Structure 1
Amino acid sequence: MQVLRQKLLPLQRLFDQASHTARPLVLLLFRLWVANVFFKSGLTKLEDWDTTLLLFSNDYHVPLLPPALAAVMGTFGETVFSSLLVAGLFGRFAAAGLFVVNLMAVISYPDLTDITRQFHYYWAMLLLTLFAFGPGCLSLDAAWRSWRGKPRLPA
């Protein structure tokens, strides 16, 4: 068993190094992917505000908020948090904000199909990953920490 372990050790090191090297690119890909979805949705709402208000009044049932306020908050969240996420600025905050926007979409729109609900779950997992690990070293957060001379956070 010891011999097998010694033979596999270089392979394990190779995988560990590849994983460490790929992590910033994976986090960047997650940020760009999920931000694109939410930003496009926010732009769609902005393009036809009257329709957006109508949808929030009739179809989306956001708890505890008046429809107009829910529309403004949802559109703001989709556009601003996704922009922050792309830049990796306040990355964990942006991921948490989009997670809440995503959660509200699932809660407030009862006509989601099983397939569209699965998309929301997928986006939630990506956002939770970004919240847990941060935006990575290819971000403005990392550049700011480096400029300030603070130690780099893991991931």
Structure 2
Amino acid sequence: MTAISDHSSTSPGGLVGVYRRIIKLPERIPFSLIQLAARVAVAHVFWQSAQTKLASWPVTLQLFANEYNLPFVDPSIAAPLATAAELTGSVLIFLGLFSRLGALMLLGVVLVIQIFVFPENWAEHLLWASLLLLVLTRGPGAFSLDYVAERTFSASGK
């Protein structure tokens, strides 16, 4: 006696095969494109934050003195340090130039914000940290000045 089987659900051309091909489609997205998107997104967040600080410096100083209450750092020092880190980090991340250094700087900013300023906004901070950790651990990708520099210097060293 022969068992009757439905090959349409298990064969490569069957429904399961179609489903498997569909769910694997995102794997065709180049990882460098994902790295670029992460860099642009997180750089934008910190660039905008720095621009807001610079737009009204007296208000920024008041916020650092009265609302943010960072321990161990005078507001007149913390405000320019935070602004410089946001500006520098966002430019480095965006360009993909010394991007791991930029990611590390901005991770420091995120850590300070999370611990001392707005701990209730942990989900937003986790999102920023995730994008920064992607850059820190996997690099900026092929669409970056770091990539160009690495290829240029490795080719000239041969």
Give the alignment's TM-score, normalised by structure 2.
0.79
Higher Rg of the two aligned structures? 2
Which of 146, 151, 156 matches 1:146? 151
Partners of 1:84 and 1:94 lie apart in 2 by: 5
| Distance in structure 2 (CA, Å) of the matches to 1:60 and 1:18 | 41
RMSD over aligned CA atoms reads 2.3
Structure 1 stretches of at least 4 aligned residues deviating more than 4 Å after TM superposition: none
1:72-111 CA distance string (max 9 Å, x none): 11000111110110000001110111000111111221xx
Question: Aligned match of 1:123 in 114, 128, 137?
Answer: 128
Query: Hey, what's the Cα distance between the residues in 1 that align with 2:78 and 2:119?
Result: 22
| SS at 1:149 equivalent | helix
Residue of structure 1 equivalent to 2:8:
none
- DSSP-derived class of the 2:141 partner: coil
Q: 1:59, CA displacement in angstroms?
A: 0.8
**Aligned mates of 1:58, 1:113 — CA distance in 2:** 17
Say if 1:62 and 1:107, in contact at 8 Å, map to a contact too.
Answer: no
State the partner residue of 1:71. 79
> Hey, what's the Cα distance between the residues in 2 that align with 1:62 and 1:131?
26
Paired residue for 1:61, among 51, 66, 69?
69
**TM-score normalised to the size of structure 1?**
0.80
Looking at structure 1, the residues matched to 142 and 109 of structure 2 have their Cα atoms a distance apart, in angstroms, of 25
Residue 24 of structure 2 corresponds to residue 24 of structure 1:
no
Unpaired runs of 5+ in structure 1? 1-6, 151-155
Q: Which residue of 2 aligns with 1:133?
A: 138
Question: How far, CA to CA, are the matches of 1:94 and 1:100 in structure 2?
Answer: 10
Identity between Structure 1 and Structure 2 (%): 35
User: What is the CA-CA distance between 1:63 and the residue it aligns to?
Assistant: 2.7
> Is the aligned partner of 1:91 residue 2:96?
no
Number of equivalent positions:
138
Give the distance between the partners of 1:35 and 1:130, measured in 2 at CA: 11
